[in-house]
């Protein structure tokens, strides 16, 4: 079991202990005071978890190449001591670490950005300055100097970021390189820049230093590379001295999802596999590889020599250790929600993880065994209650968990039924295992009552009993056509061919996805590639073709009272994907709607004063939620001091990120 995954990789002068790389992630830690100290603890924890090789977040080789004005660079010896904190910490744990060198080119968020040609990126306010030949030569020098300094800082190697639409990628493709000198025009000229960087880095650093080149194998933008160009570049990069090639999938400006939760597991491994026969150095597969089983499959099928898992190491630092020890069931799996990692990064906040709020906060949120075990009752086994019960029991408290339902998981039992959100079930699996491991007394089908809670002499009562869906109050709210999202997602009602959804928040969007979904004839990966227009045959540049979404299973109206575009409250890095998908499903998105009544004809509404009847079979209420406070109010009236977490505490704008963080934080301090 996992023989491919756990097999060492001999690089000649050194050996990686297994085939898993923790991929580069920008956490913003390197940008804050004391951040390198925190990053050292964060990386060391992952090294202790036995990952084969770690790659840091991107560090710029010069000022122009920074992600933002405050971003980390490595340009001088003065900057070495802070990097040594990281490399020493990782090496003390027996790990290996490479530093990623990232020049953002036209993607940087600051006025000093440069690019091969002065073409503004569609996702940036700043326009880049065109690089003079002297700037290009200086930048190559800066890359080499940065790699030399990385070696002095103790890194085992560097990753040269050549994908996702950053500077190197901007040189390679016609879309962004309109130069007519020796660095533009023919493909040979356009790929000259990365080849010089790799060649000169290898010459400066000798043979015993890892150089990973992240090569954009699938640009997913118009005027991107053709497959022939990708192969030509890969061969040239091998010849220039790279140790291995990592896969890059999609530019940041591409309108095709590459890592979000609706991307099926290992959806892009075929690209790496396509390149396997063209080069002899090891290749690394990436994107939506979130369990040891998926990783093992990719390696066993010969798609790649190594796999890179990035976000999964935020969710659980011990993936490899648990795999080695036969504890795969105990892995806290990344559900690809992007809510606490990528969404934070783009909001300039410290990254973390929805299912593991300790990630990047290792020095602040500590789970220390207690010297004073307490008897604790937890009411509600949704994400908040489970997170609390897990950490409190792990610290040594005696926990009883009451759950009214017959299963653990709370609202995640609905979330996991949404097509593309199946991974949310992994969180329930993880917590189920943790309840067993730490001997939480779980009482299912057991609604806690005030009397029962008082009858046992608990030292603390934690209320995580969640929310009640908000009900409609308009005329006809009790008409048989009106149903709640809970009835839809638990399959207790059969929805007709035409339905209106009241409320276009996260749940409204999810319900629309659920109701328009029709099982495709093909496997999940093929259906995904077809819907979004990704061509496995790679006939056109960038790997694009005409999108061909499935026909929707139903006609859906998604309604809201407020102004503005639908989905504006969804995640920064995922909202556009949900919106595009529902557009492809022909969902009618109506804003500024006033709800008037429901009757046999359907839903009566008015939009900007104009009355309308939506002749629908069902009206599904997804109009937000209210906290359940019955037990709380009763306990307070009796002079008790229960603690509230999750939806029970605050239903408005509550999400699982807040619920789990509240549960873990309270449990760490009780």
Instruction: Give CA–CA dist 312/336, Å, rounded.
Output: 9
User: Of ligand FAD, ligand SF4, ligand NAP, none, which one does residue 624 interact with (CB within 5 to 8 Å by kind)?
Assistant: ligand NAP
Structure tokens that stand for 268 in this block: 């892009």
Packed helices 656-669 and 383-394: angle between N→C axes, nearest 10 degrees: 30
Catalogue the E-assigned strands of 507-660: 555-559, 588-590, 593-599, 602-607, 610-614, 618-621, 625-627, 643-644
Nearer to ligand FAD, 295 or 645 (CB): 645
What is the distance between the alpha carbons of residues 380 and 86, in angstroms, rounded to a whole number? 40
Residue pair 299/19 in contact by the 8 Å Cβ criterion: yes
Complex with ligand SF4: residue 286 or 337, whichever CB lies closer? 337
Minimum CB distance to ligand SF4 smaller for 214 or for 311: 311
By the rule CB under 6 A, 160 interacts with ligand SF4: no
Is residue 515 a contact residue for ligand SF4 (CB under 6 A)? no
Q: Is 79 exposed, middle or buried (0-12, 13-18, 19+ CB in 10 A)?
A: middle
The alpha-helical segments, DSSP class H, found in 20-118 are 35-48, 80-92
Q: Is the Cβ–Cβ distance between 40 and 118 less than 8 Å?
A: no
383, containing H or E segment: helix 383-394
Sign of CA dihedral 251, 252, 256, 262: positive
- Provide Rg for the chain, Cα atoms: 26
Q: Which of residues 15-74 bind ligand NAP (CB under 6 A)?
A: none
Q: Annotated catalytic residue: which of 2, 107, 155, 166?
A: 166
Catalytic site includes residue 517? no
Q: Which does 381 bind (CB under 5 to 8 A by kind): ligand FAD, ligand SF4, ligand NAP, none?
A: ligand FAD
Q: Which does 340 bind (CB under 5 to 8 A by kind): ligand FAD, ligand SF4, ligand NAP, none?
A: ligand SF4
Q: Among the candidate windows 2-10, 75-83, 184-192, 651-659, which touches ligand FAD by CB under 6 A?
A: 651-659
Minimum distance, C-beta of residue 511 to ligand NAP, in the bound complex (Å): 9
Assess 415 for contact with ligand FAD (CB under 6 A).
yes
Distance between CA atoms of residues 323 and 313, nearest Å: 13
Burial (CB < 10 A; 0-12, 13-18, 19+), residue 345, is: buried
Can you say how many angstroms the Cα of residue 65 is from the centroid of all Cα atoms in its chain?
A: 24
Burial (Cβ within 10 Å: 0-12, 13-18, ≥19) of residue 432: middle
Check residue 654 for interaction with ligand NAP (CB under 6 A). Answer: yes
Is residue 657 near ligand FAD by the rule CB under 6 A? yes
Contact 23, 286 (CB under 8 A): yes
Nearer to ligand NAP, 177 or 427 (CB): 427
Query: How far is CA 418 from each of CA 40, 510, 512, rounded to the nearest angstrom?
Result: 38, 6, 9
- Asked whether position 465 contacts ligand FAD by CB under 6 A, the answer is yes
| Shortest Å, Cβ 577 to ligand FAD | 12
Window of 97-105, 215-223, 249-257, 381-389 that interacts with ligand FAD by CB under 6 A: 381-389
Q: What is the DSSP code string of 430-450?
A: HHHHHHHHTT-EEETT----H
Neighbours of 634 (CB within 10 A): 16
Q: Does 507 bind ligand NAP (CB under 6 A)?
A: yes
- Residue 289 near residue 295 (C-beta atoms within 8 A): yes
Per CB under 6 A, 488 contacts ligand FAD: no
* 502 contact, one of ligand SF4, ligand NAP, ligand FAD, none, CB 5-8 Å limit per kind: ligand NAP
Q: What is the greatest pairwise CA distance in the chain?
A: 83
CA atoms of 570 and 552, how far apart (whole Å): 22
Phi and psi (nearest 5°) for 372? -130, 75
403 contact choice in ligand NAP, ligand SF4, ligand FAD, none (CB below 5 to 8 Å, kind-dependent): ligand FAD
Contact 670, 369 (CB under 8 A): no
Nearer to ligand NAP, 52 or 257 (CB): 257
Should residue 503 be labelled a site residue for ligand NAP when binding is judged by CB under 6 A?
A: yes
Judged by CB under 6 A, the chain residues 229 through 288 that form the site for ligand FAD are none
* Contacting residue, 22, 60, 335, 502, with ligand NAP by CB under 6 A: 502
Could you tell which of ligand FAD, ligand NAP, ligand SF4, none binds residue 410, using a CB distance below 5 to 8 A set by kind?
ligand FAD
Q: Does 411 bind ligand FAD (CB under 6 A)?
A: yes
Pick from 431, 390, 437, 375: nearest CA to 407 = 431
Contacts for 488 with CB less than 8 Å, ≥ 6 apart: 495, 511, 514, 515, 620
Closer Cβ to ligand FAD, 415 or 593, answer by number: 415
477 near ligand NAP (CB under 6 A): no
* Binding string, residues 253-292; x marks residues near ligand SF4 by CB under 6 A: ----------------------------------------
Q: Can residue 632 be called a binding residue for ligand FAD (CB under 6 A)?
A: no
Q: Which does 544 bind (CB under 5 to 8 A by kind): ligand FAD, ligand SF4, ligand NAP, none?
A: none
The DSSP code for 127 is P
Question: Of these, 314, 387, 408, 435, which contacts ligand SF4 (CB under 6 A)?
Answer: 314
CB of 663 to ligand SF4, least distance (A): 15
Binding partner of residue 623 among ligand FAD, ligand SF4, ligand NAP, none, CB cut-off 5 to 8 Å per kind: ligand NAP
**Contacts with ligand NAP in 604-623 (CB under 6 A)?**
622-623
Nearest to 286 by CA among 387, 375, 376, 164: 164
665 counts as binding ligand SF4 under rule CB under 6 A: no
Residue 16 contacts residue 52 (beta carbons within 8 Å): yes
Near ligand NAP in 556-575, by CB under 6 A: 560-562, 569-571
Give the C-alpha separation, 300 to 5, whole Å: 8
Q: Which of residues 317-356 bind ligand SF4 (CB under 6 A)?
A: 334-341, 353-355
> Binding residue for ligand FAD (CB under 6 A) from 113, 587, 656, 670?
656
Cβ–Cβ < 8 Å for 106, 170: yes
Task: Tell me the site size for ligand FAD, rule CB under 6 A.
Answer: 39
Asked whether 497 and 555 are in contact (CB, 8 A), the reply is: yes
Residue 420 within binding range of ligand NAP, rule CB under 6 A: no
- List 205, 237, 659, 666, residue binding ligand FAD (CB under 6 A): 659
Q: For ligand FAD, which residue of 654, 666, 668, 670 counts as binding (CB under 6 A)?
A: 654
Q: Stretches 46-54, 231-239, 274-282, 497-505: which one binds ligand NAP (CB under 6 A)? A: 497-505
Residue (358 or 581) nearer to ligand SF4, CB: 358
The whole-angstrom distance between residue 124's C-alpha and the CA centroid of its chain comes to: 21
Q: In the bound complex, what is the minimum distance in angstroms from residue 383's beta carbon to ligand FAD?
A: 4
Classify burial at 328, counting beta carbons within 10 Å of its beta carbon; exposed 0-12, middle 13-18, buried 19 or more: middle
Closest C-alpha to 260, from 197, 180, 334, 351? 334
Instruction: Give the residues lining the site for ligand SF4 (CB under 6 A).
Output: 311, 314-315, 334-341, 353-355
Residue numbers of the site for ligand FAD (CB under 6 A)?
337, 339, 379-385, 402-405, 410-412, 414-415, 418, 447-448, 464-467, 489, 506-507, 510, 628, 631, 646-648, 654-657, 659
Residues that bind ligand NAP (CB under 6 A): 470, 502-508, 510, 560-562, 569-571, 622-625, 653-655
Q: Mind telling me the catalytic residues?
A: 166
């Amino acid at each position: 079991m996992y023989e491919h995954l756990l097999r060492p990789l001999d690089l000649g002068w050194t050996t990686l202990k297994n085939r898993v790389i923790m991929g580069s992630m920008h956490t913003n830690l390197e940008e804050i005071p004391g951040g390198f100290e925190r990053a050292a603890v964060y990386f060391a924890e992952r090294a202790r978890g036995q990952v084969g090789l770690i790659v840091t977040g991107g560090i710029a080789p010069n000022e122009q190449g920074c992600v933002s004005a405050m971003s980390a660079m490595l340009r001088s010896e003065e900057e070495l001591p802070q990097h040594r904190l990281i490399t020493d910490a990782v090496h003390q744990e027996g790990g290996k670490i490479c530093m990623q060198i990232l020049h953002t080119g036209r993607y940087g968020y600051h006025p000093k950005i440069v690019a091969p040609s002065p073409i503004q990126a569609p996702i940036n306010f700043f326009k880049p300055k065109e690089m003079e030949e002297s700037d290009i030569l200086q930048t190559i020098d800066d890359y080499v100097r940065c790699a030399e300094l990385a070696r002095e800082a103790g890194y085992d190697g560097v990753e040269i970021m050549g994908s996702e639409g950053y500077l190197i990628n901007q040189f390679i493709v016609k879309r962004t390189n309109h130069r007519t000198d020796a660095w533009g025009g023919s493909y040979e000229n356009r790929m000259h820049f990365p080849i010089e960087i790799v060649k000169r880095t290898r010459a400066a650093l000798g043979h015993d230093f890892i150089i990973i080149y992240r090569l954009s194998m699938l640009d997913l933008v118009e005027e991107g590379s053709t497959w022939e160009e990708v192969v030509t570049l890969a061969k040239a990069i091998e010849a220039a001295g790279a140790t291995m090639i990592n896969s890059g999938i999609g530019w940041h400006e591409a309108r095709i999802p590459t890592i979000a939760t609706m991307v099926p597991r290992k959806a892009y491994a075929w690209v790496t596999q396509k390149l396997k026969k063209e080069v002899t150095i090891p290749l690394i597969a990436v994107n939506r590889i979130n369990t040891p089983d998926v990783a093992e499959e990719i390696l066993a099928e010969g798609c790649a020599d190594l796999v890179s898992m990035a976000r999964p190491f935020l969710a659980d630092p011990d993936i490899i250790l648990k795999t080695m020890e036969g504890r795969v069931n105990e892995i806290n799996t990344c559900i690809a929600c992007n809510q606490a990692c990528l969404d934070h990064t783009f909001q300039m906040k410290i990254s973390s993880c929805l299912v593991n709020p300790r990630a990047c906060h290792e020095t602040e949120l500590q789970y220390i065994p207690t010297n004073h075990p307490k008897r604790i009752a937890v009411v509600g086994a949704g994400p908040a209650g489970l997170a609390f019960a897990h950490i409190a029991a792990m610290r040594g408290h005696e926990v009883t968990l009451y759950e009214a339902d017959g299963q653990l998981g709370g609202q995640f039992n609905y979330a996991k039924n949404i097509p593309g959100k199946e991974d949310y079930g992994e969180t329930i699996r993880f917590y189920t295992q943790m309840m067993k491991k730490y001997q939480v007394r779980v009482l299912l089908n057991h609604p806690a009552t005030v009397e029962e809670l008082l009858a046992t002499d608990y030292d603390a009562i934690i209320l995580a009993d969640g929310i009640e869906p908000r009900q409609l109050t308009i005329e006809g709210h009790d008409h048989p056509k009106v149903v709640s999202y809970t009835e839809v997602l638990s399959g207790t009602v059969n929805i007709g061919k035409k339905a209106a959804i009241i409320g276009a928040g996260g749940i409204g969007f999810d319900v629309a996805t659920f109701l328009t979904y029709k099982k495709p004839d093909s496997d999940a990966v093929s259906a995904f590639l077809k819907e979004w227009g990704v061509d496995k045959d790679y006939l056109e540049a960038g790997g694009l073709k005409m999108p061909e979404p499935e026909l929707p299973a139903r006609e859906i109206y998604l309604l809201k009272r407020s102004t503005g575009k639908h989905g504006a409250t969804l995640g920064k890095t995922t909202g556009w994907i949900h919106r595009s998908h529902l557009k492809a499903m022909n969902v009618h998105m109506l804003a500024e709607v006033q709800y008037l009544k429901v009757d046999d004809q359907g839903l009566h509404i008015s939009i900007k004063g104009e009355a309308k009847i939506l002749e629908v079979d069902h009206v599904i209420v997804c109009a937000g939620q209210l906290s359940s406070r019955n037990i709380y109010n009763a306990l307070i009236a009796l002079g008790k001091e229960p603690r509230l977490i999750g939806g029970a505490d605050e239903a408005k704008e509550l999400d699982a990120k807040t619920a789990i963080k509240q549960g873990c934080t309270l449990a760490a301090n009780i």
